[in-house]
Amino acid sequence: MTAEIICVGTELLLGNTLNTNAQYLAQQLASLGIPHYFQTVVGDNLQRIHQVIDIALKRAEILIFTGGLGPTPDDLTTEAVASFFQIPLEEKREIIEEIAGKFAARGQIMPENNRKQALIPAGARVIPNPTGTAPGFILQPYKDIVNHPQQKLTIVTLPGVPSEMKRMWEETVIAFLESQGWGKEKIYSEMMRFRGIGESALATKVNHLFSLTNPTVAPYASPGEVKLRVSAKATSVEEARKIMNPIVEEIKAIAGEDYVGSDDDTLERVVGKLLQQRGETVSVAESCTGGGIGHMITSVPGSSAYFCGGIIAYSNEVKIRQLGVEVTAIEKFGAVSETVAKQMAWGVKERLGTSWGIGVTGIAGPGGGSENKPVGLVYVGIAQPDGDVVAYEFRFGENRSRDVIRQLTCGEALDKLRRHLLKG
Amino acid sequence: MTAEIICVGTELLLGNTLNTNAQYLAQQLASLGIPHYFQTVVGDNLQRIHQVIDIALKRAEILIFTGGLGPTPDDLTTEAVASFFQIPLEEKREIIEEIAGKFAARGQIMPENNRKQALIPAGARVIPNPTGTAPGFILQPYKDIVNHPQQKLTIVTLPGVPSEMKRMWEETVIAFLESQGWGKEKIYSEMMRFRGIGESALATKVNHLFSLTNPTVAPYASPGEVKLRVSAKATSVEEARKIMNPIVEEIKAIAGEDYVGSDDDTLERVVGKLLQQRGETVSVAESCTGGGIGHMITSVPGSSAYFCGGIIAYSNEVKIRQLGVEVTAIEKFGAVSETVAKQMAWGVKERLGTSWGIGVTGIAGPGGGSENKPVGLVYVGIAQPDGDVVAYEFRFGENRSRDVIRQLTCGEALDKLRRHLLKG
């Protein structure tokens, strides 16, 4: 029993709309354990919607449409489904009354073209739309034809407005799918996050797990972060955990400190939890990141428990006056140097009175690089509670964008702190 | 000459990844005037990628793939294209050297499985990937077969990482498509940015422009920002400008100060330009935004010309000690108050010696709100060169997320500064 997602709308083909509906429905199908292997986007064109139906019903049994249910002449989904299966459209009086009632509630009269939204293929079940005017429907065109090879074929239509679509999916479609016996075995998953290791290097270490079938293990990458998704097919969350846990533990053992956390445990949350466990605080001194590390730390609700603030020291003068960086250090080593990163970390820790201090200085580009100090060169200083200050050098590469270099710098700075916090 | 967008990746079917690539490519094709009628998403499965190619080449002549070019065994796009057209794969020595060089530049050795990324179908043209390890390719499998009905069939493969894909599209693919004579009549557009006015309010003011056909005017909205896209179909940028300019000027006149800038002229760039024109500087004192305003200002290359830094004053103690906020002001009015916002703005301007100072304090939530001071209440103080300090109150609403409230706060703070800078 597989599904296919079909999104209808010329605005998707023009790139005016980001297709968040496909992602939502994909997540929903995955969690219900209903596999789907294809998604199709098609414009507001009757003939091409017919083509898409023709292809989809050969490879899927549940066709889920979004979009094309509006009141305008270019909204064609209902008409296309009905004409493809040669089923007549019926005007539903109760839908007209409901739509007219919604307009009346806003003190308006229903425009004549909204009558179109009350047309439903004969024999279809209406999916009520509590917030908008476009109802959807569930149609099983061959349900009553015994031994028809596509007897179970199910068409679901939903509007394109994401909030309406989601509510109708949650309130009507899930229950219908479950009533058909689909979605009994669901897919549960844990997204494991890693830092300080590349996608290939991690993949090499856990290569033997990629061939598993239940649970499955799959890699994902974004700048600075690699993820492994461990998924299990099961009838309950407890059963799923039993299937996943041994593999999750094995991966944790393999990855060691490179494992950051899972699911909602982002880097900034994990750093916050570790600081709270230790009863410690941190402050930041930021040059090239301009406040990005502070912004990241404070994205976590309750971060005031361990973060009091910091100094954005973009100019040398602020580094010197607000952080106590030595003029001679800047003259001798340059503002982008190990020494200055250390002095920044120490300065902010001392002046703000925190357990830890982070100091960051680097060349984010695109200008400002030299042969000795290319774009992408970054120093992270960590001042520790015992008074020790260490620094780390990163070379993110001259070909990376300013945004990516700054994003990587924020992540690496917090990750270095995380690794220090893990030590006794 | 029509195209089809084919996105490869099981993560799209699982809903782990939002398909921003399809939107980007759709916009690009629209701007090149190359129609496309279908988009397909398929998982990492050789047989199903074959099925998709088989369907797509019957209805399109340019097949644009994204995803599936990585180093792991489930990256199958190259293999699928080659095997479908029965073209052997060749290992490109220069690609291996380039990938190895990228690892070496980061002090790493290339993992063996990255060799896979150097396999390219014989006769294909390599699309260099300046930032990542996965090159793409352009293949015209029937180019040399005279009178072949699909002689013009063109396969383009790009990686799934959006930043890599975009750069490769812009640096290589557009020029290739143009060299083939595609994209002669293009769609040129100007994206106009507005602040301080809602989408409906702006739409009402420019309603008479929405029915134009060349240029067209279409609205877009994101938190805090409204945009109008003015687009013209033309054979040259000069012709397009002639078509668009009268409408752009009309909209500017209607919007007044609510118009921020167009295209690359984001709020932070416009603020930077205005400061530079006036030969002035700014510093920031941030509480609830935690460094976000500084991060935004410094996202602009060359921002050191007008930004020296700031104080992240998350705790009251930092507000008092680093900014000179009066203890009595916090006791009397609370940390989230007009008075404290003003004192923060004044304090950072004085201590960092800048022309302007921005001070921000608010309740980003989800906790910390009260009846009098609900979540979403934010004060922005602006300290001016003449010594005057003003404050603005915002109530973004308790139902907004912490992220959105912080994002709105950063934008409104910079927008208030922009409006001050526009005055004589």
For residue A210, which of A202, A201, A218 has the smallest C-alpha distance?
A218
Q: With beta carbons under 8 A apart, name residues in chain B contacting A20.
A: 18
Distance of CA B412 to the CA centre of its chain: 19
Determine contact, residues B385/B367, Cβ cutoff 8 Å.
no
Is A220's CB within 8 Å of B303's CB? no
Which residues lie below 8 Å from residue B382, measured CB to CB, with a gap of 6+? B345, B356, B357, B358, B359, B389, B390, B391, B392, B416, B417, B420
Q: Which residue of A has its CA nearest to B366?
A: A301
**Facing residue for A48 by CB, picked from B37, B51, B107:** B37
Distance CA A80, CA B277 (A): 58
Answer yes or no: do B42 and A40 touch at CB < 8 A. no
Distance separating alpha carbons of residues A301 and B220, to the nearest angstrom: 30
Given a contact cutoff of 8 angstroms between Cβ atoms, the answer to whether A56 and A40 are in contact is yes
CA distance A53 to A55: 5
- In this structure, whether the domain defined by B267-422 belongs to CATH 3.90.950.20 is answered with yes
Of B14, B163, B302, the CB nearest to A30: B14
> Start-end ranges of CATH 3.30.70.2860 in chain B?
186-262
Q: How far apart are the first and last CA of chain A?
A: 52
Using a CB-CB distance cutoff of 8 angstroms, which residues of chain A are in contact with residue B22? 12, 19, 41
Extract the tokens encoding B212.
Answer: 């134009």
Cis check for the bond before B128: say yes or no (omega within 30 of 0): no
Chain A residue with CA closest to B286: the answer is A309
Token pair 């179970």 is found at A152
Q: Is the pLDDT of residue B424 over 70?
A: no
Can you tell me the distance from the alpha carbon of B337 to that of B393, in angstroms, rounded to the nearest whole number? 9
Confidence of residue B200 (pLDDT cuts 50, 70, 90): confident
Per the CB < 8 Å rule, is B111 touching A27? no
Which chain B positions have a beta carbon within 8 Å of A219's beta carbon?
A: 72
**A295 closest CB neighbour out of B36, B161, B290:** B290
Backbone φ and ψ for A180, nearest 5 degrees, come out as: -90, 0
Q: Cβ contact (<8 Å) for A309 and B313?
A: yes
- Contact, B390 vs B381, CB < 8 A? yes
Amino acid at B353: G
Helix, strand and coil percent figures for chain B, each rounded to 5: 40, 25, 35
The answer to whether residues B137 and B129 touch, using CB atoms and an 8 Å cutoff, is no
The answer to whether the CB atoms of A315 and B309 lie below 8 A apart is yes
Concatenating the DSSP letter of every residue in A352-366 gives HT-SEEEEEEE--SS
* Chain A residues inside the 8 Å CB shell of B17: 23, 220
Indicate the residue type of B58: K
Helix A77-84, helix A46-56: angle, nearest 10: 60
**How many Cβ atoms are within 10 Å of A239's Cβ, its own excluded?**
15
CATH code of domain A186-262:
3.30.70.2860
- Pairing status of strand B356-362 against strand A307-313: unpaired
Rounded Cα–Cα distance for residues B237 and B243 (Å) = 10
Residue A14, pLDDT score: 87
Give the chain B residue nearest A365 (alpha carbons): B301
Residue pair B92/B128 in contact by the 8 Å Cβ criterion: no
Q: What single letter denotes the amino acid at residue B181?
A: G
Query: Which tokens go with B11?
Result: 């993560």
Q: What are phi and psi of B349, to 5 degrees?
A: -60, -45
Give residue B243's identity as a one-letter amino acid code: I
Q: B413: number of CA atoms within 13 Å, CB side?
A: 36
Residue recorded with tokens 């084919």: B6
Segments of A94-244 assigned E as strands: 119-121, 125-127, 136-139, 154-158, 186-195, 216-222, 225-234
What are the start and end residues of each CATH 3.40.980.10 domain in chain B? 3-179
Fold of B3-179: Molybdenum Cofactor Biosythetic Enzyme; Chain A (3.40.980)
Please state, in angstroms and as integers, the Cα–Cα distance from residue B202 to each residue in A220, B199, B228, following that order: 41, 5, 9
Flag if A23 and B36 touch (Cβ within 8 Å): no
CA distance A283 to chain B (A): 9
Contact assessment for residue A391 and residue A379, using Cβ atoms and an 8 Å cutoff: yes
> Residue B72: which of A219, A303, A395 has the nearest Cβ?
A219
pLDDT beyond 80 at B7: yes
pLDDT along chain A (424 residues), means of 10: 94 90 95 93 96 97 95 90 97 92 83 89 95 92 92 96 92 94 84 92 94 91 88 92 98 98 97 98 98 98 97 98 98 98 98 98 95 96 97 93 96 98 88
Which of A362, A368, A345 shows the shortest CA–CA distance to A407? Answer: A362
What are the start-end ranges of the E strands in A196-257?
216-222, 225-234
Q: Does ipTM top 0.90?
A: no
Distance from CA of A14 to the nearest CA of B (A): 5
Burial of B36 (0-12, 13-18, 19+ CB in 10 A): buried
- The CA distance from A216 to A324, in Å, is 52
| Nearest CB partner across the interface for B295, out of A28, A295, A397 | A295
Inter-chain contact B352–A406, Cβ cutoff 8 Å? no
pLDDT digits (tens, 9 = 90+) for B91-143: 999 999 999 998 888 788 898 889 999 999 999 999 999 988 889 999 999 99
- pTM of the prediction? 0.81
Q: Which of A14, A55, A304 sits opposite B30 (nearest CB)?
A: A14
Query: Range(s) for CATH 3.90.950.20 in chain B?
Result: 267-422
Task: Give Cα B241 to chain centroid, integer Å.
Answer: 24
Q: Of the candidates B70, B105, B312, which has its C-beta nearest A291's C-beta?
A: B312
- Best of B298, B303, B358, B401 to substitute, by most chain A Cβ atoms within 10 angstroms, is B298
Burial class from Cβ neighbours inside 10 Å (0-12, 13-18, 19+) for residue B101 reads: exposed
The H-or-E segment that residue A134 falls in is none
Among candidate residues A276, A256, A274, A277, the one with its CA nearest the CA of residue A266: A274
Q: Is B314 within 8 Å of A293 when comparing Cβ atoms?
A: no
**Is residue A338 within 8 Å of A263, Cβ to Cβ?**
no
**B26 with A9: CB under 8 angstroms?**
no
- Rounded to an integer, what distance in angstroms lies between the CA atom of residue B109 and that of residue B375? 50
Q: Under an 8 A CB cutoff, do A204 and B17 touch?
A: no
User: Are the CB atoms for B297 and B303 separated by under 8 Å?
Assistant: yes
Q: Kindly report the CA angle at A285 between A300 and A345, in degrees rounded to 5?
A: 110
* H or E segment to which residue B57 belongs: none
Provide the 8-state DSSP code for B337.
S
Query: In whole angstroms, what is the distance from residue B165 CA to residue B413 CA?
Result: 34
Which residues of B are less than 8 Å from A19 in CB distance? 19, 22-23
The single-letter DSSP state of residue B2 is: -
Cα B254 from Cα B277, distance rounded (Å) = 25
The number of CA neighbours under 13 Å toward the Cβ of A390 is 9
Q: Please indicate whether, in this complex, the C-beta atoms of B11 and A220 are within 8 angstroms of each other.
A: yes
CB A314 within 8 A of CB B309: yes
Residues of B in contact with A229 (CB under 8 A): 14, 16
- Distance from the Cα of B302 to chain A's closest Cα (Å) equals 8
Q: In the structure encoding, which two tokens stand for residue A7, read together?
A: 């999104």
User: To the nearest whole angstrom, how far is the Cα of B72 from the nearest Cα of chain A?
Assistant: 7
**Helix A316-323 with B338-352: angle, nearest 10 deg:** 110
Helix H segments across A184-228? Answer: 199-205
Distance (Å) from the alpha carbon of B295 to chain A's nearest alpha carbon: 5
Cα Rg, chain B, nearest whole Å: 27
Least CB-CB distance to B39: which of A41, A210, A397?
A: A41
Least CA distance to B25: which residue of chain A?
A: A15
Q: Which of B261, B310, B260, B272 is nearest to B289 (CA)?
A: B310
Question: Which residues from chain A sit within 8 angstroms of residue B71, using beta carbons?
Answer: 199-200, 203
CB-closest option in A16, A198, A307 to B314: A307
State the average pLDDT over residues B196-225. Answer: 85
Taking only Cα atoms into account, the Rg of chain A, rounded to an integer number of angstroms, comes to 28
* Widest CA span in chain B: 87
- End-to-end Cα distance, chain B: 53
Tokens of A299: 């994205």
- Contact residues on chain B for A315, CB-CB shorter than 8 A: 304, 308-309
Beta strand pairing status for A356-362 and A282-286? parallel
Residue-wise pLDDT for B348-370, tens only, equals 999 999 999 999 999 999 999 99
Return the residue in B13, B171, B269, B312 with the most chain A beta carbons within 10 A, the one to mutate for interface testing: B312
**C-alpha–C-alpha distance, residues A408 and A399, integer Å:** 13
* Pairwise CB contact (< 8 Å): B16 & A220: yes
Q: Testing the interface with B: which of A10, A59, A200 to mutate, by most B Cβ within 10 A?
A: A200
The stretches of A174-236 forming alpha helices (DSSP H) are 174-179, 199-205
**CB of B231 within 8 A of CB of B209?**
no
| Of residues B193, B217, B202, B197, the one with CA closest to residue B269 | B193
Taking an 8 Å cut-off on Cβ atoms, the answer to whether B105 and A397 are in contact is: yes
pLDDT reported for residue A298: 98
Take residue B56 and report the two structure tokens written for it. Answer: 């797509």
Nearest chain B residue to A288 by CA: give it. Answer: B298
When the pLDDT of each residue in chain B is averaged and rounded to a whole number, the result is 94
Chain pair A-B, CB pairs under 8 angstroms: 260
What's residue B358's pLDDT? 98
Of A256, A314, A255, the closest CA to residue A288 belongs to: A314
